[in-house]
Structure 1
Amino acid sequence: MAPTGRHRALAEHAFTPHDAVLRAAARHIGRRRFLTVTAAAAALAFTTNLPARGAVAAPQRDAARIDKDPFTLGVASGDPLPDSVVLWTRLAPEPFEADGGLGEERVTVEWEVAEDESFALVTQRGTAEAHPEYAHSVHIDVRGLEPATRYYYRFRTGTWISPAGRTLTAPAAGDGTSALRLAAVACQAYQDGYYTVLRHLAQDDVDIVFHLGDYLYEYAVNSVGGERRYTDVTLPDVFNRETMTLADYRLRYSLYKSDPDLKAAHAAHPFVVAWDDHETENNYAGSIPENTVPPEEFLLRRAAAYRAYWENQPLRAAQLPQGPDAQLYRRLHWGTLAQFDILDTRQYRSDQAYSDRPHPPGPESDDPARTMTGDAQERWLIDGWRASTALWNVMPQQVCFSQRRLDTTADANMSMDAWDGYRASRNRIVAGAKEAGVANWMVLTGDVHVAYAFDIKDDFDDPQSKTLGTEITSTSVSSGKDGAEKPANWDTYMTANPHMKFYDGRRGYARVELGQEAARIDFRTVSAVTTPGAPVTTAASFVTEAGAPGLQPA
């Protein structure tokens, strides 16, 4: 659903008498406990509203008393519209403390947007409140901007000024802009290596970045940072456990966002973010956790994870969680060149078939009642295609859409966590794309820690069937450690899947340039992430022509 943009600055609301109850619930939501469904629902109610009118607000901190840099987690922008972009920061002078070093006090933050890096030509400025209930995060939905325009932004509180960020608004609705260069990234386990990929991305000439999930991992990070093997830093014990509570997830974002390369990428480009599983828990499906935890307890954990996600990303009010639910799927446009339908393939899906083990398709996985997206999101996607006037219809989402046979036998195993485990759901999406006449369909995917390029076939079991679109799977930023150019199963996968045109196991990102005549895809890779500073190279490049789906080497 397209963002409504009703709020210019989310944190500018006053309070209601109910806020004291909500604040108390927010403080206690992180305690892991077994709950009845009724008790869980009551405990989750705290996320239904921002602090609103009427009640006594949290005490105001005099910003002049902040004696350490509060902008340790950087700045970010996201979800650009022709007249608007979301600006984000989160105050945390002590980022590895549960309250960020600001306790239960709210802080006034100034923001400004300029046309130049030196901020001599400021076009808009304002103030917002950083509330403790939202981990002192600030989300500014700046309106009244010019289409297709580069802007610079920054924040100030007390004597402290944030790093400057750079962002870009989308072209006007009817603008036939000639080109867009985007990057797709995914999967950045902190403990698996350095964010060298993001440093290179920060320096790349792209207009917008799509983060396709696993921004965060719930797994423990030891005192030396896992594969980072710090010798001059000792990470606190609070990170050396799995994230379960709201405090845990907030602190884990503090760890990730303290990374200088991640901060650089956010400051350089607007991001469009979508979660997968690890932002909450590995391979969860809807309200069903990975293990045997009761669903009501898992929903409490999911509420905490979703809340912390929103607090730490440049997202609008439309994405603010309501208890354990949040509508993350949404639609953006880039003039008449591209429509972006950002999916959520985790929150609404049916449980994985065959106990989530690799398995040949069968009656359980092919049940027509099974869904990857849920009915409402499926209708929204297909209705959006019917109404689309864009040249390129791009579907950023999380898990492999194209068929991926894991061996060369006639009855090959497939991943039950990907769309292969939800073939009826995939068939409905494919049928919807065909019925809507989507001529230039591109799917962007993350999840698997390797890079793939697929032709999307009308019948994946018939290599001669019609090609309907292109799937670009971005490898990971760091997850899986260094990887290899040709993983051990490279020959098997390339033989078993004739529609797979590329496979590389190194870390990196995908860069896609959409044009009026064709799209060009560059797979950018680094040789290592367990040691910092590896150079970036282009492993392979492809083109797909507008009106003639199918990947060809560039």
Structure 2
Amino acid sequence: MMVRFSIFVSLRSAGPLHSGSGLWSRRARAPPTVNQDRMSSADRRLRAAARHLGRRRFLSLTAATAALAFTTNVPAAGAAGVRRMDPSKIADDPFTLGVASGDPLPDSVVLWTRLAPAPYEPGGGMAGLAAVVLWEVALDDRFAVVVRTGAAVAFPEYNHTVHVDVDGLDPDHAYFYRFRAGTWISETGRTRTAPARTSAATSLTFAAVSCQAFHDGYFTAHRHLAEDDVDIVLHVGDYLYEYPVNSSGGARGYPSGTLPDVFNRETVSLEDYRLRYALYKSDPDLRAVHAAHPFVVTWDDHETENNYAGAVDEHGSPPERFLLRRAAAYRAYWENQPLRAAQLPVGSDLRLYRRLHWGTLAQFDVLDTRQYRSDQAYGDTKHVPGPESDDPARTMTGQTQEDWLIDGWRTSDAVWNVMPQQVCFSQRRLDLNAQSLMSMDAWDGYRASRDRILAGAKSAGIENLMVLTGDVHVGYAFEIKDVFDDPASRTLGTEIVATSVTSGKDGAERPGTWDTYMKANPHLKFYDGRRGYVRVALGQGEARADFRTVSAVTTPGAPITTAGSFAVEAGKPGLEPV
């Protein structure tokens, strides 16, 4: 079942530049009506039918169940009559979760916010009513020169989130934006557009972040990143965690009872995931970094459930049950991230992999290594690779995404081909044995899939491949080898692994496995176990990666330092310490 909806309900002004304090007079179109029928009965029918079907047909109908469950409760395009709130009646600040922007193109960028005067309550305190939100984009943070304005509808069906795809902007330009609902004005965000597609851009600075468990500490790294001079931020997964958060905020050590009990349970339902995003986005450091920079996001496992693979969850639950949970998680993810309508999920499916460009300097092929992968081999444990894990039929990306990636490389004109993705791509031996243990959740558990990707890069003539990774809560710098067990073999690219923002708590400069990993993996050139982010500067002739770390996250306000820096010369993909 495929249902399409117009979500970006917006009036845009492409008129002349305007001097003043902003335009707030645009009127929104009448918002559509809502259809909430048939969900539970269809769910019951398909579950009953599934017992009599083969696995392939069974899974397709399970996905259809999730699609029906999560596409009936949406605004129907073009209809009228939905109950709408008078914005002037919003008594408390509705912009408690801040603003965000993302996926910059040469002429457009996505703007995001959510109306939630009571963010820790189901529905956010909006009484289930739609509301009109005004937005404006300006050249300056005082909004003296406004270049675009419009109005969007915050629908209760999308938890009062707003996604505005602002077009008609100039390439390679910084902009400021804000929202208004009634008498309330949001904080100001800063964003930017990408250079023109054929522009020979000379520089790009971006940050890579991952793994921000709220219960493991403060988002201090995000506060420092908000103050850093970067063009974009790439979030490569584990934006939130599904685990319970107690009333003290876990390792944050709030006074007992600070957080409501609604967070002290694992996320399973759509409401659970929505509330968990509200908890995370209420954090002032996360709000600050979103307001400061546009984000390009992709997920890993914890946005849904630990170490899931396709339709298989960690506990071996029936696929029909897990796909309903996955549909809830994917819906909440889209609602709460600055993503376009092209990423709007249909039930338990959401196409998140996509391609962005920074002129001809960089091509970003953003991957999804969770939704389409084969189940982990050997029970998802640390294991010596063998026939099960090395089965050529196994895939990390799915065939369609794999073909899309390699075809995109064949037509790439970029100096740097950057692949943001989730789990360790390079070989990572975990001990010093001749047949060593490896992670079956990483690409080491899908070696045939990795071989096909690298063969595709070689056949496409990719000279400057840079893989960006998260997941493991440490910072790594790898050289990607043609034959990982032969240190003298050709270097095909580099892998930069961003440590966690908080996950794993404070960490250590040299974890207990440091000596073993460095000896077992000659292509591993850097390993640090503290929290932080990676800042990467790309130029026409060189890339530089700085591993930025904080000393602690279980207490707020730790300073940030550079733990290590490496340069990569264009056309010579090796890591040189700086």
The bucket for the TM-score relative to the shorter chain is over 0.9
Q: Which amino acid aligns with 1:514?
A: L
Q: Which amino acid aligns with 2:274?
A: R
* 2:67 match: 44
Q: How far is 1:174 from its partner?
A: 1.0
Is the 1:34–1:297 contact (alpha carbons within 8 Å) kept by the matching residues of 2? Answer: no
Q: How many residues align?
A: 545
CA distance in 2, matches of 1:183, 1:546: 19
Is the 1:58–1:104 contact (alpha carbons within 8 Å) kept by the matching residues of 2? Answer: no
Query: Deviations along 1:272-294, whole A, 9 cap, x unmatched?
Result: 00000000000000000110311
Alignment map for 1:423-502 (pairs within 5 Å): 423-502=447-526
* 1:174 match: 198
CA distance in 1, matches of 2:242, 2:29: 32
CA distance in 1, matches of 2:71, 2:88: 32
* 1:325 match: 349
Query: Deviations along 1:63-91, whole A, 9 cap, x unmatched?
Result: 11100000000000000000000000011
Which residue of the other structure, out of 396, 402, 411, is the alignment partner of 1:372? 396
Which residue of the other structure, out of 165, 169, 192, is the alignment partner of 2:216? 192
Q: How far is 1:44 from its partner?
A: 3.1
Q: How far is 1:103 from its partner?
A: 2.0
Which residue of the other structure, out of 257, 273, 277, is the alignment partner of 1:249? 273
SS where residue 99 of structure 1 aligns?
helix
Is the 1:458–1:465 contact (alpha carbons within 8 Å) kept by the matching residues of 2? Answer: yes
Is the 1:25–1:43 contact (alpha carbons within 8 Å) kept by the matching residues of 2? Answer: no
Query: Deviations along 1:150-201, whole A, 9 cap, x unmatched?
Result: 0000000100000000001000011111100000000000000000000000
Alignment map for 1:264-413 (pairs within 5 Å): 264-413=288-437
Is the 2:438–2:444 contact (alpha carbons within 8 Å) kept by the matching residues of 1? Answer: yes
> What are the ranges of 5 or more consecutive residues in structure 1 without an aligned counterpart?
none
* 2:54 match: none
SS where residue 437 of structure 1 aligns?
coil
Is the 2:103–2:356 contact (alpha carbons within 8 Å) kept by the matching residues of 1? Answer: yes
Is the 2:31–2:82 contact (alpha carbons within 8 Å) kept by the matching residues of 1? Answer: no
Structure 1 pair 39/51, CA: closer, same or farther in 2 (3 Å)? same
Q: How far is 1:232 from its partner?
A: 7.6
CA distance in 2, matches of 1:6, 1:466: 49
CA distance in 2, matches of 1:288, 1:14: 42
Residue identity over aligned pairs, in percent, reads 69
CA distance in 1, matches of 2:536, 2:543: 7
* 2:538 match: 514
Is the 1:9–1:141 contact (alpha carbons within 8 Å) kept by the matching residues of 2? Answer: no
SS where residue 140 of structure 2 aligns?
coil
Structure 1 pair 544/54, CA: closer, same or farther in 2 (3 Å)? closer
Q: How far is 1:104 from its partner?
A: 1.4
Query: Deviations along 1:483-526, whole A, 9 cap, x unmatched?
Result: 00000010000000000000000001000000011000000000
* 1:60 match: 84
* 2:283 match: 259
Residue 134 in structure 1 maps to residue 176 in structure 2:
no
Query: Deviations along 1:41-82, whole A, 9 cap, x unmatched?
Result: 335314448523354543110011100000000000000000
Q: How far is 1:226 from its partner?
A: 0.2
Q: Which amino acid aligns with 2:128?
A: E
Which residue of the other structure, out of 188, 207, 219, is the alignment partner of 2:243? 219
Q: How far is 1:21 from its partner?
A: 2.6
> What are the ranges of 5 or more consecutive residues in structure 2 without an aligned counterpart?
12-27, 51-57
SS where residue 59 of structure 1 aligns?
coil
Residue 20 in structure 1 maps to residue 35 in structure 2:
yes
CA distance in 2, matches of 1:7, 1:40: 22
Q: Which runs of 4+ in 1 moved over 6 A?
A: 10-17
Q: Which amino acid aligns with 2:68?
A: A
CA distance in 2, matches of 1:10, 1:345: 33
SS where residue 100 of structure 1 aligns?
helix
Is the 1:14–1:52 contact (alpha carbons within 8 Å) kept by the matching residues of 2? Answer: no
Structure 1 pair 65/14, CA: closer, same or farther in 2 (3 Å)? closer
Q: Which amino acid aligns with 1:355?
A: G
Q: Which amino acid aligns with 1:187?
A: C
Residue 533 in structure 1 maps to residue 550 in structure 2:
no
* 1:417 match: 441
Is the 1:81–1:332 contact (alpha carbons within 8 Å) kept by the matching residues of 2? Answer: yes
Is the 1:8–1:143 contact (alpha carbons within 8 Å) kept by the matching residues of 2? Answer: no
Q: Which amino acid aligns with 2:162?
A: V
Is the 1:214–1:276 contact (alpha carbons within 8 Å) kept by the matching residues of 2? Answer: yes
Task: Please give the TM-score of this superposition, normalised by the length of structure 2.
Answer: 0.91
Q: Which amino acid aligns with 2:35?
A: A
CA distance in 2, matches of 1:119, 1:195: 30
Q: Which amino acid aligns with 2:65?
A: A
Q: How far is 1:7 from its partner?
A: 7.3
Task: Please give the TM-score of this superposition, normalised by the length of structure 1.
Answer: 0.95
Q: How far is 1:15 from its partner?
A: 6.8
SS where residue 344 of structure 1 aligns?
coil
In angstroms, what is the RMSD of aligned CA positions? 2.1
Structure 1 pair 348/43, CA: closer, same or farther in 2 (3 Å)? closer
Q: Which amino acid aligns with 2:509?
A: E
